[in-house]
């Protein structure tokens, strides 16, 4: 779904309406699924990412996820019937070169790792093989890819994010598809992934008046598909949960009180050195507290997307 890397190229908020992308401005605070999930996972992690806005160097896993997402997006530019594993493999190198040209910090991606570019690209191709094991891309035409969506919640909050792929059946049923490329244990991130999909389902329901029929997680490494069908009642509950979460974020910001909440996800946290749970000291709280992150900035770091 950025991923930090792939989202950075889309720097202006927009709204996808009936297939047209139009810019949108808002004075309301905005929340992405990744940032909401950060707060749920660990309030201090939310602070580090959304308030202190500490930089996070991309990891090979994140970059591989970005690359595979880019290839899968480009694959559907190829006519149906020609979307073969070989075609996907052939897209890897040019897409990687494009990402390298656009994202300066990828140049040092392999520093301190035993990985070579060739090995890295080969593992990307392996994941694409996993994609073909679970789906034949010649049998569908996505309605949208990398679709920016946003919706207002009770006039208090704008929720927004990017959907990897949106499929629409001839009957108008929506299927939200999210590719997962990470190598981390799935169970550690599954709740977070489902939270993200419900988030998108809520946005689509509120903007298009249709509850998506299917929310699909596609695990390329495990070659598994996980489908979930939400209903309106569940999305209403989820909406209330999101508002409560936002209120908790506002309270924490007012009190300058974001506590660490250690969990197995700490293993993927880039900020352990500053975390009191690991003997660190957070930097002074930025004053005044910065406004909500602009859309796209650091929208989906690795923990939210692929792991
Ligand atoms: S190391 Fe763990 S507890 Fe500390 S900020 Fe990161 S996620 Fe939170």
Q: Show me where the domains of the chain are located.
A: 4-305
**268 vs 174, residue with greater confidence:** 174
* pLDDT for the residue numbered 183: 61
Q: How far is the CA of 66 from the centre of ligand 1 (A)?
A: 24
Cβ neighbours of residue 281 closer than 8 Å, sequence gap 6 or more: 274
What distance in angstroms lies between residue 27's CA and the mean position of ligand 1's atoms? Answer: 30
Ligand 1 atom closest to Cα of residue 45: 5
> Rounded mean pLDDT of the chain?
86
Task: Give the confidence band of 28 by pLDDT, cuts at 50, 70, 90.
Answer: confident
**Above 50 in pLDDT, residue 16?**
no
**pLDDT score of 69 more than 80:** yes
Q: How far apart are CA 83 and CA 80, in angstroms?
A: 6
Structure tokens at 202: 């809520």
Which range among 21-25, 39-43, 288-292 shows the weakest confidence by mean pLDDT?
Answer: 21-25
Asked whether the predicted pLDDT for residue 118 surpasses 70, the reply is: yes
What's the pLDDT at 188?
67
* Region of residue 43 (phi > 0: left; psi between -120 and 50: alpha; otherwise: beta): alpha
Please give the pLDDT value at position 6: 34
pLDDT at 291: 64
pLDDT exceeds cutoff 90 at 251:
yes
Taking only the tens place, the pLDDT of each residue in 174-188 is 999 999 997 656 676
* pLDDT over 70 at 305, yes or no: no
pTM, entire model? 0.84
Residue 297: predicted pLDDT: 40
Cis before 288? omega within 30: yes
198 contacts 238 by C-beta, under 8 angstroms = yes
Query: What was the pLDDT predicted at 26?
Result: 64
Which residue minimizes the CA distance to atom 4 of ligand 1? 275
User: Does residue 303 have a pLDDT over 90?
Assistant: no
Matching residue, tokens 């992405």: 32
Q: pLDDT tens, 187-246?
A: 767 888 889 999 999 999 999 999 999 999 999 999 999 999 999 999 999 999 999 999
Pocket test of ligand 1: the residue of 35, 49, 262 to mutate, having most ligand atoms within 8 Å of its CB, is 262
CATH code at 4-305: 3.90.320
Q: Is 260 in the pocket of ligand 1 (CB under 6 A)?
A: yes
- The rounded Å distance from CA 38 to ligand 1 centre is 10
Which helix (H) or strand (E) covers residue 110, if one does?
Answer: none
Query: CB–CB of 213/175 below 8 Å?
Result: yes
Give me the pLDDT at residue 190, please.
80
Look at residue 10 and tell me whether its pLDDT is greater than 60. no
Is pLDDT above 60 for 17?
no
Compute the 3-state secondary structure of the chain and give helix, strand, coil in percent, each to the nearest 5. Answer: 45, 15, 35
Looking at residue 185, its pLDDT comes to 61
**Residue 177 in 3-state DSSP?**
strand
pLDDT exceeds 80 at position 147: yes
The region of weakest confidence among 16-25, 60-69, 141-150, 237-246 is 16-25
Question: Given a cut of 70, is residue 301 above it in pLDDT?
Answer: no
Mean pLDDT of 108-130: 94
Q: Measuring from atom 2 of ligand 1, which residue has the nearest CA?
A: 266
| Confidence at 299, pLDDT banded by 50, 70, 90 | very low
Distance 5 CA to ligand 1 centre (A): 22
Give the pLDDT score at 121: 97
Strand partners of residue 225: 218
Q: Are strands 144-153 and 174-180 parallel, antiparallel or unpaired?
A: unpaired
Q: What is the pLDDT of residue 109?
A: 93
CA dist list (Å): 71 to 5, 66, 75: 14, 9, 6
∠ CA 7-38-269, nearest 5°, is 85
pLDDT band at 287 (very low <50, low <70, confident <90, very high): confident
């Amino acid at each position: 779904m950025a991923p930090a890397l792939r989202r950075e190229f889309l720097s202006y908020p927009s709204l996808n309406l009936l297939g047209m992308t139009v810019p949108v401005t808002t004075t309301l605070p905005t929340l992405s699924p990744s940032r909401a999930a950060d707060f749920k996972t660990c309030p201090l992690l939310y602070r580090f990412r959304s308030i202190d806005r500490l930089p996070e160097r991309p990891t090979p896993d994140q970059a591989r996820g970005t690359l595979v997402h880019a290839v899968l997006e480009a694959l559907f530019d190829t006519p149906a019937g020609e979307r073969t594993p070989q075609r996907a493999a052939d897209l890897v190198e040019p897409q990687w070169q494009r990402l390298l040209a656009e994202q300066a910090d990828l140049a040092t991606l392999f520093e301190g790792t035993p990985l070579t570019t060739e090995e890295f690209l080969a593992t990307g191709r392996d994941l694409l093989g996993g994609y073909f094991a679970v789906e034949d891309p010649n049998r569908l035409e996505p309605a949208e890819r990398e679709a920016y969506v946003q919706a207002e919640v009770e006039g208090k909050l704008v929720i927004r994010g990017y959907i990897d792929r949106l499929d629409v059946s001839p009957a108008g049923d929506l299927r939200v598809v999210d590719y997962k490329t990470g190598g981390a244990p799935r169970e550690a991130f599954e709740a977070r992934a489902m939270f993200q999909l419900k988030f998108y389902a809520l946005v689509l329901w509120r903007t298009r008046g249709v509850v998506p029929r299917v929310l699909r997680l596609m695990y390329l490494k495990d070659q598994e598909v996980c489908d979930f069908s939400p209903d309106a009642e569940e999305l209403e509950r989820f909406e209330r949960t999101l508002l409560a979460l936002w209120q908790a974020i506002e309270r924490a910001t007012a009190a300058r009180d974001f506590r660490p909440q250690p969990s197995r996800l700490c293993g993927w946290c880039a900020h352990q050195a500053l975390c009191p749970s690991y003997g660190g000291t957070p930097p002074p709280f930025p004053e005044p507290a910065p406004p909500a992150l602009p859309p796209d900035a650091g929208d989906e770091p690795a923990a939210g997307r692929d792991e």
